[in-house]
Amino acid sequence: MQKDLTRLLHDPNLIPSEKQNLLSKIASQAESLGMPCYVVGGFVRDLLLGQPINDLDIVVEGDAIALGKSLVEKYGGKLTPHYKFHTAIWYLPSREAFTLDPSSLDLITARSETYSRPGALPTVKPSTIDDDLLRRDFTINAMAIRLDGDHFGELLDPLDGRSDLEKKTIRVLHPRSFIDDPTRIFRAIRYEQRYSFILHPSSFILVNPESLAVLQALSGERIRHELDLIFDEDNSPQMIVRLGKLDVFKWIHPELPAFNESHSDYLEMDTRLDVPASRITMGFILWLMDLTEAAILSIARRLDFTSDLTHAVWGASQLKKSLPFLVNSAPSVWVYALEKLPLLSIYTVYLVSREKALLDYLSFWRHVKPGTTGNDLKMRGLEPGPRYGEILTALRAAWLDGTIRSNEEEMEMLNRLL
């Protein structure tokens, strides 16, 4: 087994060589300080699944801050220690050996966690790697591989996560897991749909009113973070639909609806239109835009939306509701109505309505501007004031609606207006 893992840890298709390099530097530094050093969590899970790893989740038995300091002494970079949590962020030195994305990594001290009450943030205490694995969400995330010295490639798997991986099963570590932290319900569904695994029946029955009720006490920020992670995934529609079927949403906000399955395909953006893309924002727009204005604003408060996100969802909802009144309007009327809305809101409403004017706006109308500028009006002796805006808007509208089609015609119109 150790040999198998050693092979995986050296596979450049799973771990790019610069990350391997970095891991080996950290491991030998930890060894010289007498600290057992491990990669844990998602790293081990994805490695065993034969999938490229993303984050380097590093845990040491010992003082992660001391390890960080000695790495900075030896290799440079910067350290931000968090004494309360016994963790440190190492901002890597910008040398060739460290061309890494992201350019920082977390160094964590193995710890145990206790929950003072359901849904509270845990109290943490430095401890052993075994305790650290016991505080985790699912067996498949509760494995570690040791990296220092002769121990390189040893798997620690106290909860048999490897066999759950083989059985494609998500399983919590103890019956109170979802009560301690109901954000794990979202995480369970995310992994289930991402890997096409099954939430084990013994864990599935723990998604029940007792654990779901704890969601009511959870901060909007924590819940939204989980929803953001979901909308950022390829299979997000399946995840959000599944959460709806488990009746999760009513515990967060009574008006949170089920996700409309027929909207699933829209999450794939067409970037040719030069609309700033965000799967997360688009996910929330598609999910919520058919609600009333009051419900949207109330959910935005509960989930601690940023003002940009609130504006994007609200804007899409207003636009969708006003489409019947705008249909057959002149282009300038459309532009007037659309100009203050986020492009992504307009694009999303286009996807669900296929209203051609929205596409015309995104690809063409929004870029139409008259040749005349404010400066030109000043040169022509116009006193500063609201007339500037009125004249420029009238010229733009004339271009949009086809009443002027050339610079000469624009000049004639300008002369008439002045």
Binding site for ligand ATP (CB under 6 A): 41-42, 54-55, 57, 136-137, 141, 181, 183-184
- Give the integer Cα–Cα distance in Å for 222 and 7: 38
CB of 17 or CB of 54, closer to ligand ATP: 54
Residue 181 CB, shortest distance to ligand ATP, in Å, is 5
Residue 191 CB, shortest distance to ligand ATP, in Å, is 7
- Give the integer Cα–Cα distance in Å for 409 and 171: 72
Residue 129 CB, shortest distance to ligand ATP, in Å, is 12
3-state helix/strand/coil string of 126-169: ECCHHHHHHCCCEHHHCCEEECCHHHCCEEECCCCHHHHHHCCE
Residue 184 CB, shortest distance to ligand ATP, in Å, is 5
CB of 57 or CB of 192, closer to ligand ATP: 57
**Structure tokens given for 104:** 């920082």
Rg (CA), the chain: 28
CB of 152 or CB of 191, closer to ligand ATP: 191
Residue 158 CB, shortest distance to ligand ATP, in Å, is 13
Token pair 């103890």: residue: 174
Token pair 């599944």: residue: 242
**Structure tokens given for 26:** 């950290």
- Whether 154 and 2 have beta carbons less than 8 Å apart is answered as yes
- Give the integer Cα–Cα distance in Å for 58 and 147: 10
What is the DSSP secondary-structure string of 97-108?
A: GG--SSSEEEEE
**Structure tokens given for 246:** 């488990």
Residue 323 CB, shortest distance to ligand ATP, in Å, is 38
Residue 36 CB, shortest distance to ligand ATP, in Å, is 18
Torsion of CA 389, 329, 318, 392, to 10 degrees: -10
Q: Using DSSP bridges, classify how beta strands 111-114 and 104-109 pair: parallel, antiparallel or unpaired.
A: unpaired
CB of 26 or CB of 351, closer to ligand ATP: 26
CB of 18 or CB of 55, closer to ligand ATP: 55
CB of 137 or CB of 148, closer to ligand ATP: 137
CB of 27 or CB of 173, closer to ligand ATP: 173
